[in-house]
């Protein structure tokens, strides 16, 4: 009997709502957009897909936050996407204001939701949402790691000609060029990937993963939506089913990995309370250095955000 709200009925939000409806695990999905008819239209279209694809999840769209009342989980995808030539960090001045006002509106109508942030620059928008929400940090986190890991797994699946299902991987750090792929923790059905692929090809895949979002922006003129929307829906599923799935998630660190006062991608257990546990993987010195470099890059964007004095 759960209710999920998705804010932003654009490419990522509408995809997330639609994927979620197909999972048939939620009673109701509410889609909210500042352009009310867009949310109404996409929700209605998705609802009309229900008799074809056999799901019972009802979908409703609106521009009125009253419709979000009593949400168990809220996914925030509102904001502008990247255009070719832009980095995610270039979005901050617009998206920080949007994420703040969206969060305030959510909190007026739902007393204790779990919030998943998707808007970019992700690590800083998650921090912004957490600050505006007043919620415990276990209940506010961001979607990036599942997407970055999925890109890495997909590239590996192509290179090795195996099913992407069998590739397990871990990726940490910020959602940007400084993300930290960990080949040491990448396996193909339990076989270390380093036994199956040469170092040069693996390094090329790591580099392609780091700029995986940018590659799609170049191809499409805007940023991706199928994998991002599905990734956010997978997080919702883990929470609603209390699965304790282990995913890389943008979470608030309080001393883990020697880092504090920052939201950064780390492996966590996701269950009914949101982040049930942050997992501290044993990193070698080189990996730890890369993670701290990534944190430094995120902190410079936090400084920009703080200087906005919102």
Catalytic residues: 175
Work out whether 126 is an interface residue with ligand APR (CB under 6 A): no
- Among 152, 225, 263, 305, indicate the residue that binds ligand APR (CB under 6 A): 225
Each residue 226-265 as x (binds ligand APR by CB under 6 A) or -, in order, gives: --x-------------------------------------
- Among 68, 149, 223, 294, indicate the residue that binds ligand APR (CB under 6 A): 223
Nearer to ligand APR, 98 or 230 (CB): 98
Work out whether 7 is an interface residue with ligand APR (CB under 6 A): yes
Nearer to ligand APR, 7 or 238 (CB): 7
Nearer to ligand APR, 58 or 101 (CB): 101
Task: Name the residue whose CB lies closest to ligand APR.
Answer: 10
Q: Kindly report the three-state secondary structure assignment for every residue of the chain.
A: CCEEEEECCCHHHHHHHHHHHHHCCCCEEEEECCCHHHHHHHHHHHHHHHHHHCCCCEEEEECCHHHHCCCCEEEECCCCCCCCCCCHHHHHHHHHHHHHHHHHHHHHHCCCCEEEECCCCHHHHHHHHHHHHCCCHHHEEECCHHHHHHHHHHHHHHHHCCCHHHEECCEEECCCCCCEECHHHCEECCEEHHHCCCHHHHHHHHHHHHCHHHHHHHHHCCCCCHHHHHHHHHHHHHHHCCCCEEEEEEEEEECHHHCEEEEEEEEEEEECCEEEEECCCCCCHHHHHHHHHHHHHHHHHHHHHHHCCC
Which window, 7-15, 149-157, 165-173, 240-248, contacts ligand APR (CB under 6 A)?
7-15
* Nearest distance, CB of residue 276 and ligand APR, angstroms: 25
* Nearest distance, CB of residue 3 and ligand APR, angstroms: 18
Nearer to ligand APR, 82 or 269 (CB): 82
User: Could you tell me which residues come within 8 angstroms of residue 269 by beta carbon, excluding any fewer than 6 positions away?
Assistant: 244, 245, 246, 275, 276, 277, 279
Nearer to ligand APR, 79 or 271 (CB): 79
Q: How many residues bind ligand APR (CB under 6 A)?
A: 29
Each residue 65-84 as x (binds ligand APR by CB under 6 A) or -, in order, gives: ------------xxx-xx--
Which residues here bind ligand APR, judged by CB under 6 A?
A: 7-13, 32-35, 38, 77-79, 81-82, 91, 95, 98, 101-102, 118-120, 222-223, 225, 228
């Amino acid at each position: 009997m759960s209710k999920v709200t998705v804010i932003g009925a654009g490419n990522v939000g509408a995809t997330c709502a639609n994927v979620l409806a197909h999972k048939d695990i939620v009673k109701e999905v509410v889609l909210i957009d500042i352009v009310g008819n867009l949310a109404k239209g996409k929700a209605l279209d998705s609802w009309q897909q229900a008799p074809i694809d056999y799901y019972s999840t009802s979908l409703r769209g609106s521009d009125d936050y009253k419709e979000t009342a009593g949400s168990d989980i809220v996914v925030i995808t509102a904001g502008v996407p990247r255009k070719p030539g832009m980095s995610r960090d270039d979005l901050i001045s617009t998206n920080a204001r949007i994420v703040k006002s969206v969060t305030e509106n959510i909190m007026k109508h739902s007393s204790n939701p779990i919030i998943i942030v998707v808007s970019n620059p992700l690590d800083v928008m998650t921090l912004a949402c957490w600050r505006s929400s007043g919620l415990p940090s276990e209940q506010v986190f961001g979607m990036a790691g599942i997407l970055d890991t999925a890109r890495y797994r997909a590239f590996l699946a192509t290179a090795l000609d195996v099913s992407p299902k069998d590739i397990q991987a871990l990726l940490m750090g910020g959602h940007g060029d400084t993300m930290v792929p960990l080949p040491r923790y990448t396996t193909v059905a339990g076989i270390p990937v380093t036994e199956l692929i040469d170092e040069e090809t693996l390094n090329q895949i790591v580099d392609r993963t780091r700029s995986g979002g940018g590659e799609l922006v170049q191809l499409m003129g805007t940023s991706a939506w199928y994998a991002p929307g599905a990734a956010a829906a997978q997080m919702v599923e883990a929470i609603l089913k209390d699965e304790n799935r282990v995913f890389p998630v943008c979470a608030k660190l309080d001393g883990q990995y020697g880092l504090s006062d920052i939201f950064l991608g780390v492996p966590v257990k996701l269950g009914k309370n949101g982040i049930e546990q942050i997992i501290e993987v044993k990193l070698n010195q080189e990996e730890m250095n890369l993670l701290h470099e990534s944190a430094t890059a995120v902190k410079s964007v936090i400084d920009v955000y703080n200087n906005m004095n919102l």
